[in-house]
Structure 1
Amino acid sequence: MLLHQGIGLDRFNALPDHSAVHALFECCCSVTWAGHVAAGRPYSSRSDLFTAADSGLFELSDADVDAALQCHPGVARRAQTTASALEQCAVWSPDEALMLAVVAACARYEQQFGYRYLWCAAGRDAAELLRDVTTRLGHSAEAERKTMLGELAKINRIRIERMLGPADGYRD
């Protein structure tokens, strides 16, 4: 859960540096990224903020990206192999066989690439998840790193949107 929700772009721009870094850290779990994006303030539009967020993400070192990934539970970590846990997990299907296939594919992914499978789940279901992870297992290490960063950028944008809220933010 974000502590900074619905603050609006103007209030975000006006935050003290340490508060802006904290608010952004909640979106990506990278102090380096948050510092880079916060240093670009003031942003004249959400679009400018998103551009800076994407740019900052793609400039991170592999070590910084790997550290940020540790804050994401990973799809396979959400799913357990018991039926009751599968019914309660945050992945989108009660079908136990499908979820077990997802867990297995995500484990192969992590073994193959050395980091967690990351996927922006907005509006997608478990069958799409399985297709995606299966496809991505065929990527080269370099291609997959770029794909994973693209997914992380999508997640960051969703979290930044939540941080900003409506155009003027919520009233105090």
Structure 2
Amino acid sequence: MTSTSTPPGLARFNELEERAASAALHEACASVEWRRRLLAARPYATADDLYAASDAATAALTGADLAEAMAGHPPIGRPKPGDPTSAREQRGMAGAAEELKAEMLELNLAYQERFGHVFLICATGRTGEEMRDAARARIGNSPEEEREIVRTELGRINRIRLARLVEPVEPVVLAEGD
């Protein structure tokens, strides 16, 4: 059975005044153009409508818009101090061995020198080794190939962050005695 009512988190987002909604979207993506497009399409009936709008906005970003979006992301292995979002997303590097962290730092620097921006990957659910291997593989890409991979990764990150914004978090139910 499908419900016709808008989920509460999405309804709250739809009802925010423009400035507050823009600030909430900024937590998901630093691109002004991406936020402008998502705000212009409100209200959203479903979270899937919001995600589709995000995907379309991400696909339409220019090179400058992508650079603006990437500037909002810290390097892998170095989440922004005091930022629970980047710490949560980069959890796979938190417990990594010092050698892996050092290698990731070197890869981040080499990548940034080659492409002129931070190595962007949807880190959620990935191990430190998986992120390192992706950086190793991608550093040999052409700038054009890499720009499209970055666009795809940014779209994944935006979807995850939007879900946290508008979807209810299921409460943890503990069994008796836990």
How does the TM-score come out when normalised to structure 2? 0.78
Deviations 1:93-121 (A, max 9, x none): 33111111111111111111111001111
Instruction: Specify whether residues 60 and 129 from structure 1 end up closer, same or farther in structure 2 by C-alpha distance, changes over 3 A only.
Output: same
Gapped regions of structure 2 (runs ≥ 5): 1-6, 81-89, 170-178
In the alignment, which residue of structure 2 is the partner of 1:15?
16
Number of residue pairs matched by the alignment: 153
Residues 92 and 125 of structure 1 are in contact (CA less than 8 Å); yes or no, is this contact kept in structure 2? no
Structure with bigger RCO (C-alpha 8 Å, 6+ apart)? 1
Report the CA distance shift for 1:78/1:22 in structure 2 as closer, same or farther (over 3 A): closer
1:76 Cα offset (Å): 5.2
Equivalence for 1:163: 165
Instruction: Mark the CA change 1:145 to 1:7 in structure 2 (over 3 Å): closer, same or farther.
Output: farther
Give CA deviations for 1:50-107 in whole Å, capped at 9, x if unaligned: 010111112122112212211111115449xxxxxxxxx9523331111111111111
What TM-score does the superposition give when structure 1 sets the normalisation length? 0.81
Of the structure 1 ranges 103-112 and 92-101, higher mean CA displacement relative to structure 2 is found in 92-101
Residue 108 (structure 1) aligned with residue 110 (structure 2): yes
Return the offset for 1:7: 6.3
Partner of 2:98: 96
* 1:52 to 2:50 alignment: no
1:85-164 correspondence to structure 2 within 5 Å = 91-164=93-166
* Residue pair 1:37, 1:56 contacting (<8 A) in 2 also: yes
- Structure-2 residue corresponding to 1:3: none
> Counterpart amino acid of 2:162?
I
Contact 1:8/1:166 (8 A) holds in 2: yes
Q: Indicate yes or no: 2:36 matched with 1:31.
A: no
Q: Distance in 2 between matches of 1:166 and 1:94?
A: 31
Residue matched to 2:174: none
4+ runs of 1 displaced by more than 6 Å?
none
**Unaligned regions of 5+ residues in structure 1, if any?**
1-5, 80-88, 168-172
Deviation at 1:16, TM superposition (A): 2.0
Instruction: Give the whole-Å Cα distance in 2 for the aligned partners of 1:26 and 1:102.
Output: 25
The alignment-based identity, stated in percent, is 36
